[in-house]
């Protein structure tokens, strides 16, 4: 079963239990889920940021393909978080037994004039502790419980704003928020020369002399896609050329175009091209 990209029905989710908490403009959803079979976890919200906190349970595998990249595999540990900015999509394919998690939904306006920076499987014990504290009193409706929930939630909002957003520069220092032709050419050249390297959003934004949040928006406007999707397309095109014109092994090619493992390369290639690298080479 491959990562969901709209080409098949989503798998059925088996929710064992859930509870919702609304506080300080945010909503927190605590859920426990059974994962007897390979299951799709997909999310998208055009007006709210989504943060997922892994609280408990056991997964055998997890493959993630977010809008911004990089995709990859990694079994979540307790306290890992995923940060999905409003308007971005994220799809995962999971296998395991059970999972308990908290989904935090934050209206875009609640974080002010900032841009949320995406994260995949990022370790944050402090956010995990605050989520657990809210969960401990979620079934109570007394004044002390409400006060505690509001207090911890406000601290949580401030922490997210401080640690996971970037502020626009002051008006007097504001840099251009569009990519001119020279900068676009420089970024394309940088990407082409670095296809076998670990390219980060920070390194790309540095090429344009922009904050990360501003760069993401400017890149979308200039190239009509995300930096990650653009990079992935270039890597797949380079791989197709190497498969057609060289005798390099698929393992060698996967490393030459920047994939962490041959399996990750094969999955991404099949999703983009429709056939495996081996079949593609055999059809040349």
pLDDT tens-place string over residues 64-122: 877 666 556 678 899 999 999 988 888 899 999 999 999 999 998 888 777 888 888 88
Residue-averaged pLDDT of the chain: 86
Nearest to 28 by CA among 55, 54, 52: 52
Residue 101 near residue 39 (C-beta atoms within 8 A)? no
Q: Tell me the pTM.
A: 0.67
Position with higher pLDDT, 174 vs 208: 208
**Which spans in the chain are helix H?**
125-136, 143-164, 181-193, 201-207, 212-223, 227-245, 250-256, 262-273, 277-282
The rounded distance, in Å, linking the Cα atoms of 121 and 174 is: 32
Position with higher pLDDT, 58 vs 176: 58
pLDDT confidence band for 258 (50 / 70 / 90)? confident
Q: Quick one: CATH architecture of 181-282?
A: Orthogonal Bundle (1.10)
Residue 81 near residue 122 (C-beta atoms within 8 A)? yes
CATH topology of domain 14-166: Jelly Rolls (2.60.120)
pLDDT confidence band for 267 (50 / 70 / 90)? confident
Predicted local confidence at residue 42, as pLDDT: 92
Please report the sign of the dihedral spanned by the C-alpha atoms of residue 118, residue 123, residue 129, residue 131.
positive
pLDDT tens-digit series, residues 137-185: 999 888 878 889 999 999 999 899 888 887 655 544 445 578 888 899 9
Q: At what angle do helices 125-136 and 143-164 cross, to 10 degrees?
A: 160
Residue 277 near residue 266 (C-beta atoms within 8 A)? yes
Res. 2: pLDDT tops 80: no
Position with higher pLDDT, 181 vs 128: 128
Domain positions in the chain are: 14-166, 181-282
Nearest to 84 by CA among 99, 101, 67, 71: 67
Predicted local confidence at residue 233, as pLDDT: 87
Percent of residues, the chain, with pLDDT higher than 70:
93
Predicted local confidence at residue 172, as pLDDT: 46
């Amino acid at each position: 079963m491959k990562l969901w990209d709209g080409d098949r029905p989503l798998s059925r989710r088996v929710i064992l239990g859930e509870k919702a908490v609304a506080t300080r403009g945010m909503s927190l959803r605590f859920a426990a889920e059974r994962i007897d079979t390979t299951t799709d976890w997909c999310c998208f919200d055009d007006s709210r940021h989504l943060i997922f906190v892994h609280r408990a349970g056991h997964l055998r595998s997890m493959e993630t393909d977010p809008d911004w990249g990089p995709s990859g595999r990694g079994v979540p540990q307790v306290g890992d978080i995923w940060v999905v900015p409003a308007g971005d999509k994220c799809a995962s394919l999971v296998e395991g037994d059970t999972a308990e998690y908290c989904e935090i939904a934050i209206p875009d306006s609640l974080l002010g004039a900032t841009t949320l920076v995406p994260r995949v499987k990022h370790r944050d014990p402090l956010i995990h502790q605050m989520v657990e504290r809210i969960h401990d009193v979620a079934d109570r409706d007394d004044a002390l419980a409400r006060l505690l929930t509001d207090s911890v939630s406000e601290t949580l909002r401030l922490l997210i704003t401080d640690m996971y957003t970037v502020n626009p520069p002051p008006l007097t220092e504001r840099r251009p928020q569009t990519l001119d032709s020279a900068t676009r050419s420089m970024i394309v050249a940088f990407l082409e020369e670095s296809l076998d390297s670990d390219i980060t959003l920070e390194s790309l934004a540095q090429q344009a002399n922009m904050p990360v949040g501003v760069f993401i928006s400017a890149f979308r406007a200039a190239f009509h896609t995300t930096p990650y999707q653009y990079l992935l397309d270039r890597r797949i095109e380079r791989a197709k050329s190497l498969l057609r014109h060289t005798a390099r092994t698929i393992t060698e090619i996967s490393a030459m175009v920047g994939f962490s493992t041959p399996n990750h390369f094969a999955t991404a290639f099949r999703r983009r091209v429709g056939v495996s690298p081996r079949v593609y080479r055999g059809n040349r």
